[in-house]
Structure 1
Amino acid sequence: MAKEHFKVSSGLKTLIGSELITDKNIAVFELVKNSFDAGATEVTIRFEDLKGGNPKIIISDNGKGMTYLDIKDKWLFVAYSGKRDNTEDSNSDYRDKIRISRHYAGAKGVGRFSSDRLGRKLKLITKSQEDKGKTQVLNIDWKLFEVNQSELFQKIPAEHEILIDSNFNFKHGTILEISEVYVDDWNREEIKRLKDKLSKLVRPDLNHSLNDRLFKIYIEVPEEEEEDFNSTKDIADDEEWLRYRVSVNGEVKNFIFDLLNIKTTKIHSKINDKGELITELVDREKSIYKITEANTYLELKNVEVTLYFMGRSAKLNFTNKMGVDVVNYGNIFLYKNGFRIMPYGEPRDDSFGIDARGMQGFKRYLTTRTTIGQVEIHGDAFGFKETTSRDGGLVKTKSFDEIVLFLMDALRRLEKYVVEVAHWGLDDENLKELDSDEYKRKLVELLANVSSDKSVLALEYNKDVLNIVDTHEENSAKKIIRNFKRIGATSKNKALILDADTLEKEWLSLKKDNSAQIRRAEDAIKILEYTTGQNSFLKDSVTADTKELKSLLHHTEKSTYWINKHLNNLTKGIENGVDNAILFDLIASISLENHKIFSFTKYHKSTKFNTFVGEIKKDVVTFLNEYVINVCKFYKEYERLNITVSSPQNLSLVTSFVAVEIPIIVDNLLSNALTAKSRNVDFLWEEVNSKEVILRVIDDGNGIGPNVIDKVFDFHFTTTRNGSGLGLYHIKKIMNDMHGNIIATPRLTKGAEFALTFKRP
C-alpha cells in the first residue's frame, strides 16, 4: 500500500499570520513575549519614519539570540517550539547566568508570524554568544507567500547571510526590523494606546519581586520627542503619572496595584506548591485575618488571586492617577508566568461570569464595576493552554473551571467583609471606621464564622478582637474561643491557644461583672414598657437635655463634614473629567446628607433623637404611621393636605432600617403632592403575601404623564421649574437598601400613586 503525505500551501502564512493575529497590538505583544522567552531583560519598540517614505517598526532585545542552527531548525520550522519540548536551552547555561525563570510566556511556535500583521517585510538580525561574534541575518518578504497559493510553503525562499564584522553594536540578542509598515495603523494616539496596553501585558509587580527577573519594555518614537517635550514642560516633576500619561517615549510602567494598596480593601489568596491555600484580607493597610487551609482544588498549584474593592474614593483616586476611570481601564486580569492572557480584564469583559451573579442582588454582590485585580498562574501549568488566536483566552479545561471557582471563593470572602462588616454602599466613604464599636462587633462575628471552617489549619488575625468582645456577642465569643483552641492545637500554635485562654478569661470576667447591671436594665425596660405602652416611639416628649443637644450637633456636624468631602471630590472629578455616573452619585449624596440635616433640625423635638438617627429594628408599619399621624399632620407645611393612614388590623413588618430615612421617604412624597396641587393624600397598607407588604401612597393632584412615568426615579429628572429631581431618586435608593422597591403606578383618574414594597427579612 502506497503512502501519501500532506503538502502545505504557501497560503498557510496568511492563516497563521495576519488572519490569525488580526489586532496590531496583540501582534506586538507576541513579539515582545518572544523576547522575554529568549531571556531578555529589556526590549525596545522603535517607530521610525512613520510620516516619511520608509516607515519601520524595530523591535530589539538583549536576549540570548540565535545561532544559524537555531534559525534553520527552530525559527524556520513552522509550529515547532523548543519551549514545548524543553530543547530551547538544552545546550546553554545562559538562563541560569541571568537568573531567568525557567517558565515561558508562549509555546505555540507561530508567534513569529505576528510580524506579518505589522508590515510587508521582515529583516531578522540576531547574535548569540555561542556563535563567536557572527551576526545572522534573515530577510523575508511576506507578500511572496501570497502570489500563488498552489506554491508549496517550503519553496518560498528566505534570504540568509552571515556577517563576521557588522555595524550592529550588541553582544547578543535579536532585532526584528519590520518595513513597509501599514502606516494607517500608527499615529501618536495609537502609539499611546499601545503603550497603555503594554503596561497591562506584563504583571504589574514583575519588576518589584525578588523571585522574578527584571523585564523592561521601552518605546522610542523620535518623531514624537518634540511633542513629548511640549506636553510635559509645564508639568511638575513630582507629577510622574501625569507626565507618563501624556508622553509617548520612555519606559512602559504600571504602578496601579501599588496605588490601590493604600486606599482600598483587598484580598489575596494563593495555592502554593505544598498544597496549602493561604488567604489574607487587608483593609486600608491593616491586616484583618490570614488563614491557611488544605487545598481542595485538585487541578490547581502555584496560582494566586488578588482582588481590590473599588468604592467611590478609590475610583476617584484611580482616575486622578491613571487618567481613565476604572470601568474603561479594565477589571480582573489573568497572567500566566508574568504575561497577560487576553481578553480577561478588558473593559466590560465578563469572561469569569462575575456580573452575571452581581445582577441577582443590589448590595450583596460585587461586580466588575466595583472590583479590580488579577489572577496569576505560575510554573509549567500544563492544564492552562492559550488559544492559538491569542485573544480568545484559555482553552476550557478542568484547570480553567477550578481557577474560576477559586476566584469566586476569594470574591465571596471579600464581599462578606465589605458588605456585612464594613457596610459598603453607594457612598463608600461611610465605610465603618476600623476602630468603631459596631465595626468591631461585626468583625468578631466574621472571625467566628471564618474560624469555624474545619479546613482551616492556621490562623492569624486582627489582635484588636481581644479588646472588643462583650456580653452582647456571647455566641460569637464562644465560637471564637472554641475555634482558636482547635486551630491552635492543629497548627501547634501556642500563641493562638494563649489568645483563646486570655479571651475566655476576659469574657467570663466581663459577663460576671455585668450580670447585676443586666438584671437592673431588664427591670427598667419592663417598667418603661408598662408606662409608655407599645406605640410610644414618636409620642414621647423630649426635654432639652444636654445629651440630646450634643447628639443633634454631632450628627449635623457629621453630615456637614461629608457634604464638604463630597464637594471636594466633585470639584476634583470635574477637573479630571471623571465618568458622569460618579459625578451624579456625588451630587446625590450631597443632597441626601442635606436632607438628613433638615430632618434632624425639623423633628428632633418630636422624637428620641439618638434612636432617630441610627439603625433600628422595629415595626416599620407602626413607625411610619406614627410619624405621619404624630408629626406630619401637625407641621405647618402640610396644613392644607388632608392626610389619612389606613392599615389592616395587626399588620406589622419588623425589620432593620435607618430611622431618619423613613421621614425622608414620607417628606418627599408629601412635598411632591403639594407641588402637584393635591388636597388629599392617603397612605394605604396591604399585605400581599407572607413575605411582602405594600404601602400605596395616593394623591389627587396633577398626576404623572404616561410619557414620563418610567423616568421619575432617574437622577435629576424633574417636571417642575424649581424641582431638583432628587427626591424620588433618594426614595428609590433607600428602598433598594432595605431590599424593597418603589414604582409609580398609572392612574385612570386624577392624581398619582406610588407603591412601596417592603420585604420581610
Structure 2
Amino acid sequence: MTIGFTVDPEVMEYFGHKAISTNTTAIMELVKNSRDANATKIHIQFIGVGTKNPMIKIEDNGDGMNLNDIKNKWMVIGTKSRRVDKKTRSGKAVWGEMGIGRFACSKLGKHLKMITVKKNQKDQIDMAFDWTKFKNTKEKSAEDVMFSDPIITRPNPTPQHGVTLEIYELNSKWTASDINDLKDDVGVMLADESDGNLSVVIGKDDATKSFAKLRDHVLDNAPYKLRAKFDGQNLTVNIFNFWGSKKWEPQDVHGYYEKSKTGPFEFEVWNFPRGQGKKPETYQEKYYEGRIGRERLEKFIKKNYNVMLYRDGIWFKPYGNTYDWLGLDTDRVQSSRKLGTKNFYGILRVTKEKNPEIKQTSNRESIMRNEAFEELEKMTRDILDILAKKIYEWTKEEKIKDAKAAGGSGDLEEDRSQMLTNLKNLIRTIPKTKDKQYAIKILDSVTKNVKEQVGKMEESIVDKEILDEGVNNVAMIGIAASHMSREVGTSLTNNMETVREAEGIMNSVDRAKPIPDEVWERSEEMVESLAMNQQKMKYFMQFVGTLGRHVADAHGKNYKPHQVLIWDCVDTVQDGLEQYTKNTDITIERFVTAGPSNLKVKINRIDIECILTMLCLNSIESLKRVKENRKKKITIEIGHSNHNLFINVTDNGIGIPERKRKKIFDPFEFGHDVKNDDAHGHGLGLYFVKEVISQNYPDGKIDAAYPAHGVKMQIVLPNVKRVAS
C-alpha cells in the first residue's frame, strides 16, 4: 500500500492572497509572465474605476497559448517550464521561477476571463476562472475543483497573438492615486530593463520609458559617480568627480574576496551633494539648475535613493528606497562620515545564473539569508565606504578653500580656536564690573554647554561636518553677543532645539527594526536647518561689529547709561527684522502708551535693541505658523512713567500651551512640544531677555499674558530717567 499527498483546495487561496502580499507585486507577477512569453508590449488598463463594476485588463503581444499549453502549463501548479526554458527568445534570463505567478489574478479579483491566441495559429481560446471555487467547495483536493471547458473560436478575429486577462470583482478599490503609484512602481521595477524593447503601458502612459528618460538625464549629470565590478574573485572600483579631475580614477580596494560565496555582480552609484540649505546661489545648486533642473532633480531623488538590488533586469523589491537592507542609516548614526540611504542612488546588478544562491523566499517579498547574500551585503557596504571616504576628502578640501578665502589659515580647528580667543579678548575690553563678569560667565557656561551638545549631536544625528563647523562657528560668535542680540541668539537656540529633537528621535527609534522613512526625512530637515544657520554667519558678523562699537562706547563712557531716542532703537530693530518679515503678511505696529511720542531716556541702547529683537523674533516665528486666515501683526508698546520704562510686545500667533508657561524663562526650555511641527519658540530666547533685565536692572520685571490669540510680553525697567525732548 502506498500513500500520497493531496492538496486542500484552500491552499490555492494561499498562493494568491497570502503568498502575494500587495497589488503591485501581483501586477508585476503577471508582467513577468508576459515578458517571459516574449512579449514586447504590455498594456494595463483600469476600466470603470469609481463604478460598481471596475475591471483590470492586461494585454500582451507574447507567444500566447493553445489548448495544449493551457492544459500542460497554465493549469499545472509549480510548472517546471521556466526552470527548463531559462532564456527568452532574445537571450535574456526568464523572470518567473515557481510556476505559480498566475495566482496573482486571484489576488486582484475573484473572477478572471482569459483570452489567448498562440503565435502563428488561428484559434482564439476563451476561458473563465472563478477563484472562489477553491474556498467554497466540498471537494477534498484542489485537483477535483473543475472549471468550464475552454471555448475555442475559429478563426482568430484579429491577426494579433498573445494573452488578454480580464479581472472582475476586484478585491481592492483602486483610485487614480493608486494607479499613479503603480506607474511609479513599475517604472522603478523595470528601470534596469528600460534600455531593452519591453514597454509597459498603464492607461496611456509608458511607465518604463517615462521613468527611464528622467532617470537617465539625472544620472548622466551626477557630479560624483562610482562603478564597481566583482568577477567572483577580484573587486575593482572606479570613481568619477565632475568637480575635480573629471576622469574615472581607480581606487585601492582593501578586502579579501577570492573565496567569496557571492557570484559576479556590478554596482553603480550616483551622488548629488547639495549646496548649503539648497540655496540657489551656491555653485552646487547652480550646477544642478543648469544641467538637470533643480525641480527635476528633487522629483527624482525624492523617490529614488539607497542601493536598489536588481536581478536579471528587474528590481528585487523591497531591497532599496525606504528599506534600509544594508543598515546604512544605523551606521551613519555611529559615524557621520558614512553614507546614509538618502545620500545617493545606486543600482546593484546580479543574475540568477551567476548568483544561484541568492534566492527569493516563497512570498516573493524578501531574499533568503545565507552566506552568499551576507557576503554580498558586506562587499556592497565596503564599496560605499570607499566612496564615502572620497566624498569626505573632497568636502574637506572645499571647506579649507572656503576658510582660506575668508581669511582663515585653512586649519579648521585652528580657525575655531582663534575665533574663540578673539571673542574673549573682545570681552576683556569691558571695564571690571559685574557686566564683564556676567559676559565671561555667559561665555564660559554656554561654551561648555555647546561643546557637550555638539558631542551628543555627533553621536546622534546626521552630519558631523555641519555640526562641527556650523554649530561651533555660530555658537562661538553667538555666545559673546547673545545677551545683546536676538539675531545671534536665534541661530544658537535654533540649533539647540534641533539637538533636543534629534535626541528625542534617536531615543525613540527601535534600532532592531528598519528606521521609518519619516524619521530620516525629518533628519534631513534638521540638517538643512543647521546648514541654514551657518549660512547666516555673514549677517551675524555685522552684529559682532555692532557689538564691538557698543563695547568701545561703553568703555569710553565707563559703561554709564546715555541718552537714547526710543524710536531710533525700534527703527534699528525693524530694519534688522526686515529679512524675516519680507514676503510675509506680518506687520509691525508701534505705539507710545505714556509719555511723549519722541520719548528719550537714559539707558544702554543695546539693552533695548536686544530685548525688542528677541521678543519680535519669537513673535514672527509664531505668526509664520498661524493657519487661520487672519491679519498677522506684532504690536510694540512703549511708555514711561514715574522713572519706569514699560515695554510690551504682543502678537496674535499660535501662543504657548498652558502646561509650558511656567518654564518659558528657564534656559533650554521650550514653549512647545518638540515633536509638534506647528509649534514655535527656542530654548534660550526668553532666558536671555530675563538675564539682560536681571543683570542690568535688578528690580526689573518680565511677565507674560495670554490673550485669545498669541502672547503679550510685559517688561518693566525701573530707574530709567526720561530726558526732555
Q: TM-score range by the shorter chain?
A: 0.5 to 0.7
Which amino acid letter does the alignment assign opposite residue 219 of structure 2?
A: L
CA displacement at 1:336 relative to structure 2: 0.6
Which amino acid letter does the alignment assign opposite residue 178 of structure 1?
A: I
C-alpha spacing 1:625/1:197, structure 2 compared with 1 (3 Å) = closer
Percent sequence identity over aligned pairs: 20
Do the aligned partners of 1:308 and 1:373 also contact (CA within 8 Å) in 2? yes
Partners of 1:283 and 1:709 lie apart in 2 by 33
Partners of 1:203 and 1:187 lie apart in 2 by 24
Q: 2:310 aligns with which of 335, 348, 355?
A: 335
Q: 2:144 aligns with which of 146, 149, 155?
A: 155
- Say if 2:274 is the partner of 1:307: no
- CA shift digits 1:562-584 (9 cap, x unpaired): xxxxxxxxxxxxxxxxxxxxxxx
- Say if 2:268 is the partner of 1:279: no
CA displacement at 1:351 relative to structure 2: 1.3
2:124 corresponds to which residue? 135
Partners of 1:100 and 1:379 lie apart in 2 by 14
Which amino acid letter does the alignment assign opposite residue 391 of structure 2?
A: V
C-alpha spacing 1:659/1:635, structure 2 compared with 1 (3 Å) = farther
C-alpha spacing 1:670/1:118, structure 2 compared with 1 (3 Å) = same
2:384 corresponds to which residue? 411
Partners of 1:663 and 1:12 lie apart in 2 by 65
Do the aligned partners of 2:65 and 2:118 also contact (CA within 8 Å) in 1? yes
Q: 1:370 aligns with which of 317, 325, 343?
A: 343
1:579 corresponds to which residue? none
- CA shift digits 1:72-116 (9 cap, x unpaired): 1121111223112x1477xxxxx44xx331x12120111110011
C-alpha spacing 1:160/1:619, structure 2 compared with 1 (3 Å) = closer
Q: Secondary structure at the match of 1:263?
A: coil
- CA shift digits 1:455-513 (9 cap, x unpaired): xxxxxxxxxxxxxxxxxxxxxxxxxxxxxxxxxxxxxxxxxxxxxxxxxxxxxxxxxxx
Q: 2:201 aligns with which of 215, 218, 238?
A: 218
Query: Unpaired segments of 5 or more residues in structure 2?
Result: 276-283, 445-450, 452-464, 487-492, 504-525, 534-612, 622-667, 669-682, 693-725
Partners of 1:709 and 1:263 lie apart in 2 by 31
Do the aligned partners of 2:187 and 2:207 also contact (CA within 8 Å) in 1? no
Partners of 2:470 and 2:74 lie apart in 1 by 72
Listed as ranges, the matches of 1:16-415 within 5 Å are 16-52=15-51, 54-84=53-83, 86-87=84-85, 95-96=88-89, 99-101=90-92, 103-129=93-119, 132-148=121-137, 150-158=139-147, 159-170=149-160, 172-182=161-171, 185-204=173-192, 206-208=193-195, 213-220=196-203, 253-254=211-212, 255-272=214-231, 275-284=233-242, 286-290=246-250, 296=258, 298-312=260-274, 320-321=295-296, 324=299, 326-347=301-322, 349-362=323-336, 364-380=337-353, 381-391=355-365, 393-415=366-388
Q: Secondary structure at the match of 2:484?
A: helix
Q: Secondary structure at the match of 2:99?
A: coil
Do the aligned partners of 2:42 and 2:59 also contact (CA within 8 Å) in 1? yes
TM-score by length of 2: 0.57
Query: Unpaired segments of 5 or more residues in structure 1?
Result: 90-94, 222-246, 425-429, 433-437, 440-550, 556-609, 648-652, 677-702, 729-742, 753-761
C-alpha spacing 1:394/1:31, structure 2 compared with 1 (3 Å) = same
CA displacement at 1:631 relative to structure 2: 3.4
Do the aligned partners of 1:355 and 1:368 also contact (CA within 8 Å) in 2? yes
Listed as ranges, the matches of 1:495-506 within 5 Å are none
1:627 corresponds to which residue? 422
- CA shift digits 1:729-756 (9 cap, x unpaired): xxxxxxxxxxxxxx99xx9xx969xxxx
- CA shift digits 1:421-478 (9 cap, x unpaired): 3339xxxxx679xxxxx79xxxxxxxxxxxxxxxxxxxxxxxxxxxxxxxxxxxxxxx
CA displacement at 1:663 relative to structure 2: 6.5
Partners of 1:25 and 1:708 lie apart in 2 by 38
Which amino acid letter does the alignment assign opposite residue 188 of structure 2?
A: K
Q: Secondary structure at the match of 1:410?
A: helix
Do the aligned partners of 2:485 and 2:614 also contact (CA within 8 Å) in 1? no
Which amino acid letter does the alignment assign opposite residue 287 of structure 1?
A: K
Do the aligned partners of 2:139 and 2:145 also contact (CA within 8 Å) in 1? no
CA displacement at 1:618 relative to structure 2: 4.0
Partners of 2:385 and 2:141 lie apart in 1 by 55
Do the aligned partners of 1:615 and 1:659 also contact (CA within 8 Å) in 2? no
Q: Secondary structure at the match of 2:349?
A: strand
CA displacement at 1:51 relative to structure 2: 3.8
CA displacement at 1:63 relative to structure 2: 1.7
CA displacement at 1:160 relative to structure 2: 1.6
Do the aligned partners of 1:16 and 1:110 also contact (CA within 8 Å) in 2? yes
Which amino acid letter does the alignment assign opposite residue 265 of structure 2?
A: V
Partners of 2:423 and 2:399 lie apart in 1 by 31
- Say if 2:615 is the partner of 1:720: yes
Do the aligned partners of 1:217 and 1:252 also contact (CA within 8 Å) in 2? no
C-alpha spacing 1:11/1:418, structure 2 compared with 1 (3 Å) = same
Listed as ranges, the matches of 1:680-699 within 5 Å are none
Partners of 2:50 and 2:393 lie apart in 1 by 58
C-alpha spacing 1:340/1:640, structure 2 compared with 1 (3 Å) = same
CA displacement at 1:662 relative to structure 2: 6.6
Partners of 1:123 and 1:34 lie apart in 2 by 16
CA displacement at 1:418 relative to structure 2: 0.4
C-alpha spacing 1:127/1:100, structure 2 compared with 1 (3 Å) = farther
Listed as ranges, the matches of 1:535-546 within 5 Å are none
Q: Secondary structure at the match of 2:221?
A: helix
Which amino acid letter does the alignment assign opposite residue 145 of structure 2?
A: I
C-alpha spacing 1:25/1:635, structure 2 compared with 1 (3 Å) = farther
Partners of 2:179 and 2:473 lie apart in 1 by 55
CA displacement at 1:10 relative to structure 2: 1.2
CA displacement at 1:370 relative to structure 2: 1.0
The number of equivalent residue pairs is 478
CA displacement at 1:52 relative to structure 2: 4.1
Do the aligned partners of 2:43 and 2:60 also contact (CA within 8 Å) in 1? yes
Partners of 1:88 and 1:629 lie apart in 2 by 75
Comparing 408-417 with 256-265, greater Cα deviation is found at: 256-265
- CA shift digits 1:24-43 (9 cap, x unpaired): 11110110011111122221
Do the aligned partners of 1:203 and 1:335 also contact (CA within 8 Å) in 2? no
Listed as ranges, the matches of 1:315-714 within 5 Å are 320-321=295-296, 324=299, 326-347=301-322, 349-362=323-336, 364-380=337-353, 381-391=355-365, 393-423=366-396, 555=406, 610-611=407-408, 614-616=410-412, 618=414, 623=418, 626-634=421-429, 641-642=436-437, 643-644=439-440, 664-674=474-484, 710=500
Partners of 2:499 and 2:259 lie apart in 1 by 51
Partners of 1:617 and 1:13 lie apart in 2 by 67
- CA shift digits 1:353-377 (9 cap, x unpaired): 1112111023x11101212212111
C-alpha spacing 1:265/1:161, structure 2 compared with 1 (3 Å) = same
CA displacement at 1:710 relative to structure 2: 4.4
Comparing 57-66 with 625-634, greater Cα deviation is found at: 625-634
Which amino acid letter does the alignment assign opposite residue 356 of structure 1?
A: T
Partners of 2:121 and 2:364 lie apart in 1 by 36
Partners of 1:708 and 1:55 lie apart in 2 by 49
Partners of 1:325 and 1:162 lie apart in 2 by 48
C-alpha spacing 1:301/1:144, structure 2 compared with 1 (3 Å) = same
Partners of 1:372 and 1:659 lie apart in 2 by 27
Partners of 2:477 and 2:35 lie apart in 1 by 64
